[in-house]
Amino acid sequence: MALNIPEGITIVEFSAISNLLASILSDVGASQVSMRLNESQRSGDAPVGDDRYFHFSYFVGSVQDAATQAERKAQLIPDPGLYRFGDNVTSKEIREAVGKAVAGSQSDLFASRGWQAGTTLETESKQKKGMGSRGMGRESGLKSQKYIGIKIAGRCVGTLGVSFSGTPPADAETKIIGWARPVSSNTLTDYLSITFNLWGPTCY
């Protein structure tokens, strides 16, 4: 029986998701990969409000390469995969990525974020961010992030966030699309489809 998000996720599913994200990190050549999944539909009806967007997106995992982990640990910041689990506070970039999936854009699927070190904004960011979220940005040496909606069975069921500490590989976006919006199923979409009661806005 498929599990509801978020309450059905246990340490077993958390570990499986982390392993899948680690596979994506290695394949793409990224420094960090994270994922959010939408709250499951329960009533059989459309969610309340605008059906174009689903309003509850939960943080379900994050992994980092060795260099990013070392940078984060040097600043005494705990593992964001653990400390942000269940967080339903989204960013404008995540909402933008969902919006692009819903709009059916085929040439512009990504929402992006980048940083310049040493700015006033960087100092302010450290003061405003929670401890878990601090470990997922420039404080850990990351320079850019790309977000994309995950498409399964015609719905945007969540988002994938892929971050880099340097210039992304030339084929990075193509590989990310292959994970989040595959032409045929892959290990990530197979696992999500079998394990969870997925839901989200219709996308193309």
Measured over all CA atoms, what is the biggest interatomic distance in the chain, rounded to whole angstroms? 50
> Domain containing 138: what range?
1-43+71-152+171-204
CA atoms of 55 and 95, how far apart (whole Å): 10
Residue range 13-64, pLDDT digits in tens = 999 999 999 999 999 999 999 999 999 987 655 555 555 556 678 999 999 9
Q: Tally the domains of the chain.
A: 1
Residue 124 has pLDDT above 50, yes or no: no
Is 184 a domain residue?
yes
Does residue 24 form part of some domain? yes
What is the rounded distance in angstroms from the CA atom of residue 58 to the CA atom of residue 38? 6
Beta bridge partner(s), residue 196: 3
Residue of 94, 132, 86 lying closest to 110 (CA atoms): 94
Is 159 within the bounds of a domain? no
Which pLDDT belongs to residue 123? 44
pTM above 0.85, yes or no: yes
